[in-house]
Structures are given as C-alpha cells and as structure tokens.
C-alpha cells in the first residue's frame, strides 16, 4: 500500500509556529512517526510539504503515476481558498482524508469552510498530530 501525506503552507514551521495552537511537534517528528507506523504495517508512506499551491497540485497529479492508493492532506490555509487543490484531488480520483491539527470550528469563521471536505472520505480536526495517525490507520485498514 502506498500512502501520500501532503502538508500545505507554513506547516514547515511546526514546533515554533503558534505552539499554543499547533503544539510543539515538528513536521519531521510527525512524518517520522507516520513512516514508522506505515513500515510496521508493511506499507509505504511518502510525505511532501509545500508553501506553494502549484507545488501541491503538481504532487497530487504525480500521485496518479506513482501507485498512490490513498492521500492524507492538511492543506493548511489553502483548505479555505483553493479550488485548484479540490480540482486536482478530483482529477486523480484517489481517496483522501482531510486533517487539521487545530479544531478549525473553534476558530475564525473563514476557517469553517473547506473546499476539500465534501469530497473527502472524512475530516479530522482538532486532534493534533494524532489526527494524521488516525487517518493513516484508516487508510491502512481500507
């Protein structure tokens, strides 16, 4: 099984970025843990972070050529703005789960809408890094 984990803009700053909102784990910590869980289950987990919308679109398109079975995506701020990411995910037709570290529904109203959520298998928001792990376990079981 090949699982792709995508991280959107500013998530490279995890650990130091608004730790009261996003916690103290770094992106490397999160990715390492996911790769360990995948390996323990005989699966492969690729990770990719970009601060650029087009870079994320390109990586989603590449997923249709590299045997990706499932995508876990925290599109960060692009969640709330990006028709392009929505269209890319629809274009490759790979099932995905949307993840947010913070509970976006406790925050500003502009974070309540997602361009990705209605097409996702599910959405996990507010569980911190555990949300990625839960999404990965779901992917491994499905």
Helices (H), the chain: 19-22, 27-40, 53-63, 83-92, 130-141
Tell whether 69 is in a known binding site: no
Q: Which is nearer to ligand DQA, 57 or 73 (CB)?
A: 73
Give the interface segment with ligand DQA, choosing from 24-32, 35-43, 99-107, 133-141 (CB under 6 A).
99-107
Answer whether 106's CB lies under 8 Å from 132's CB: no
DSSP state of 24: S
* CA–CA dist 106, 100 (Å, integer): 12
Binding flag, residue 135, ligand DQA (CB under 6 A): no
CB 111 → ligand DQA: shortest distance, Å? 4
Orientation angle between helical segments 27-40 and 130-141, nearest 10 degrees? 30
Give the interface segment with ligand DQA, choosing from 41-49, 55-63, 72-80, 115-123 (CB under 6 A).
72-80
Tell whether 136 is in a known binding site: no
Residues that bind ligand DQA (CB under 6 A): 10, 74, 76-77, 79, 100-102, 104, 111
């Amino acid at each position: 099984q090949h699982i792709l984990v995508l991280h959107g803009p500013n998530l490279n700053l995890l650990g130091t970025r608004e730790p009261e909102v996003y916690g103290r784990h770094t992106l490397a910590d999160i990715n390492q843990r996911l790769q360990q869980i995948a390996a323990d289950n005989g699966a492969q987990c690729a990770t990719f972070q970009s601060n650029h919308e087009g870079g994320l679109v390109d990586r989603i398109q590449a997923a249709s050529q590299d045997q990706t079975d499932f995508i876990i995506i925290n599109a960060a701020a692009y969640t709330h703005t990006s028709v392009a990411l929505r269209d890319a995910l629809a274009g490759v037709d790979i099932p995905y789960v949307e993840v947010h570290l913070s509970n976006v529904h406790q925050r500003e109203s502009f974070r309540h809408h997602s361009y990705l959520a209605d097409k996702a298998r599910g959405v996990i928001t507010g569980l911190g890094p555990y949300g990625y792990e839960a999404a990965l376990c779901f992917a491994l079981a499905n």
